[in-house]
Amino acid sequence: MCHSRLLWFAGDVQAALADHMVYCGTKGAVDMLTRTMALELGPHNIRVNSVNPTVVMTAMGKLGWSTAEKADSMLAKIPLGRFAEVHEVVDAIIFLLSDKSSMVSGISLPVDGGFLAC
């Protein structure tokens, strides 16, 4: 029996952000698409999930969040007090694509240092 996986990459937008209407709207749509597709594709042994990181220290993340003026207010909202590193997001992706998550479908996994807990 074939077991397939579909993984979306969405931002951590389960919390609304001011001045980010289009960004939050489109990322929120990906979360709903994840859940809906999990319902529709589950009977075909296809698992559907998404990974939802907050700020990730990619080249673009470093450029956009390198000043204390911009970063400090966001870091104050993250209980772990730091932004995600690329390898931490990759680890979550590897888990969701592996057989170790064989009963996981329809979730949006935050990789956010506790941002959504606030």
Query: Does residue 115 form part of some domain?
Result: no
Nearest to 96 by CA among 83, 80, 108: 108
Average pLDDT, the chain: 90
Q: What is the model's pLDDT at position 2?
A: 56
- 19, 73 Cβ separation under 8 angstroms: no
What digits encode the pLDDT tens for the residues 23-58?
878 888 888 999 999 999 999 999 999 999 999 999
Q: Domain span at residue 92?
A: 4-109
Which active-site residues does the annotation give? 23, 27
Nearest to 82 by CA among 113, 109, 118, 116: 113
- 35, 77 Cβ separation under 8 angstroms: no
pLDDT > 90? residue 113: yes
Nearest to 89 by CA among 49, 61, 53: 53
Query: Does residue 116 form part of some domain?
Result: no
Query: Does residue 82 form part of some domain?
Result: yes
- Residue 88 sits in a domain whose CATH number is 3.40.50.720
Query: Does residue 117 form part of some domain?
Result: no
1: helix, coil or strand?
coil
Query: Does residue 105 form part of some domain?
Result: yes
When divided into structural domains, the chain yields a total of: 1
